[in-house]
Homo-oligomer: A and B are copies of this chain.
Amino acid sequence: MQSTTASPEGQPVRARILMSAFLEFYRNGFQGGSLNSIVAAAGVTKGALFHQFAGKQELGYAVVDEVIAPLLRQRWLDELAGSPRPVEAIQNAFRRYIEEDIASGAFVQGCPMNNLAQEMSPLDHGFRSRIDSLYSEWRSEVGRAVRAGIEAGSVRTEVDPDSIAVLIVLAQMGIWGTGKASQDPALMRASGEALCNYLQSQAA
Contacts and interface: CB of A to CB of B under 8 A. Distances in A.
Interface string A155-184: 000000011101101111111011011110
B118 A180 contact: yes
B110 A27 contact: no
A181 B131 CA distance: 7
12 contacts: A28-B31, A114-B118, A119-B119, A128-B183, A135-B181, A136-B182, A166-B178, A166-B187, A167-B191, A167-B198, A169-B174, A171-B171
A39 to B, nearest CB: 14
A76 to B, nearest CB: 15
B191 A132 contact: no
Contact of A128 (B131, B173, B181): B181
Contacts of A201: 201
B167 A173 contact: no
Interface residues of A, number: 48
Contacts of A118: 110, 114-115, 118-119, 177, 180-181
Nearest 6 pairs between A and B by C-beta?
A170-B174, A174-B174, A117-B181, A173-B174, A31-B32, A167-B194
A5 interface: no
A203 B131 CA distance: 36
A31 B33 CA distance: 10
Given A135-B182, A163-B190, A170-B177, 4 more contacts: A32-B32, A132-B182, A170-B194, A198-B198
A87 interface: no
Contacts of A193: 163
Contacts of A132: 181-183
A26 to B, nearest CB: 9
